[in-house]
Amino acid sequence: MRFYEAFSIFVFSILIRFSYQVLSENNKKLEWIVGDWRSEFSGKVFWPTVPTMTFGEELHIHEAPVAKSANVQFLNFSARAWSHSTKDHFHDEWGYMTVDNEGNATLMTAGNNGFTTYEVGEVAHHKLVLTLKDIGRISFSRDLPVEDLRRTFIRHDDRYMEQILEMRTATHPKSGYLEHTRVIYMKQIPE
């Protein structure tokens, strides 16, 4: 074997080791959601006080290194949404997901709309339903106060995943949830 072939194999093996973190036993329950997902125009916004509109969204969920101070593995979570018709930026969400020993998932997010959320739910086979446990918002946010929220991820097959966001604000509905957004993503395959 020539030197450059041996060197190439060595470098390649190091890159593979650092490009993929092994999921913890608990987070293996979310293996089906890990990856890059994109919808160009299948997202729909519904709400009584806003016009129905179409949007695109990218969703990135990837393994994160274990923070030695907490000794808990989280998954990095990010989402970016834009108007399909005008290409205007809607919002970003950044955060972390993890699964505890009982099989409950936690998603913590911060968004450029002034909200932070803490959501918890049970992981099932290719389905995750999260409900709001706590929400924070900046004092000068223009949105109506969100009082409750339910976020559902459903993996339909190897290529498609759906996210449904239902919520309740100070004015709509009086109880329960109203669907706010629905989007179907296609899994992005690295080139």
Domain that holds residue 86: 3-188
| CATH assignment at residue 106 | 2.40.128.20
pLDDT digits (tens, 9 = 90+) for 93-133: 999 999 999 999 999 999 998 889 999 999 999 999 999 99
| Residue type at 24 in one-letter notation | S
pLDDT digits (tens, 9 = 90+) for 135-187: 998 888 776 688 899 999 999 999 999 999 999 988 888 888 999 999 999 99
Give the chain's domain count: 1
Residue 10 has pLDDT above 70, yes or no: no
The pTM assigned to this predicted structure is 0.85
| Residue type at 113 in one-letter notation | N
Collapsing DSSP states into helix, strand and coil, what is residue 122?
strand
* pLDDT classification of 53: cutoffs 50, 70, 90: confident
Between 72 and 155, the more confident residue is 155
Between 86 and 77, the more confident residue is 77
What is the spatial distance between Cα 28 and Cα 95, in angstroms, rounded to a whole number? 18
Cα angle, residue 63 at apex, residues 83 and 33 outer, rounded to 5°: 55
